[in-house]
Structure 1
Amino acid sequence: MDKLKKYREILRSIILRYANYNPSYSKTDWLPICDDERGEYLLVDVGWKENEERTYLTVFHFRIKNDKIYVEQDNTDASPVQQMLDAGVPKEDIVLAFYSPSHRKLTDFALA
């Protein structure tokens, strides 16, 4: 299987798994956004809380760029990076883009 096709399937799987997890007590919607053509994969939490406070949060944002997976945002403790590794994505193909380029040098993952 083509590497990028595999990466698209892995990212789509992670996004859809968590989109279906939206807890029953939540009054918000978890919206999966999977754009294979542009290589963008997001899970967005949207809605209103009971106290009429607006919620609009990017739960996950992954993108495929330069044949690598860029983890732009992870607002969870769900370890999606570990899930990528478990699915066969090598560390050198994962960029922890939420860290500055100088901080990325301190990780075992790709710089860019």
Structure 2
Amino acid sequence: MKKRIKLHNKFKFFRAIVILVLTIASISAISFRSFEVRANQNEFQNAKLVEYCVKKGDTLWTIASNTSFQNELDTRAIIDRIKEDNNLSSGNIYPGQVILIPKK
């Protein structure tokens, strides 16, 4: 004789299943995104540097926002990299100044 499990509250059961599926999907998405971010950061750290001549009105923010990494990384991380590569203690740059910026 087989014992059958009787569901007393089908709504609670299906709600638990939906929550379980959504939790697994969320964890998978987060894991994939963190892998993608690590790959982009690795590519960023190994990026070649190119010379850029600062124009009137340029700021580190506008320069960093226009790099090839703009859609993949936080602009502040790109600014930090530019400051580090150019030994800049502040964000002050001047027209005509040649700085190194990362490029894919």
Normalised to the residue count of structure 1, the TM-score between the two structures is 0.26
TM-score normalised by L of structure 2: 0.27
RCO higher in 1 or 2 (8 Å CA, sep ≥ 6)? 2
Q: Which of the pair has more CA radius of gyration?
A: 2
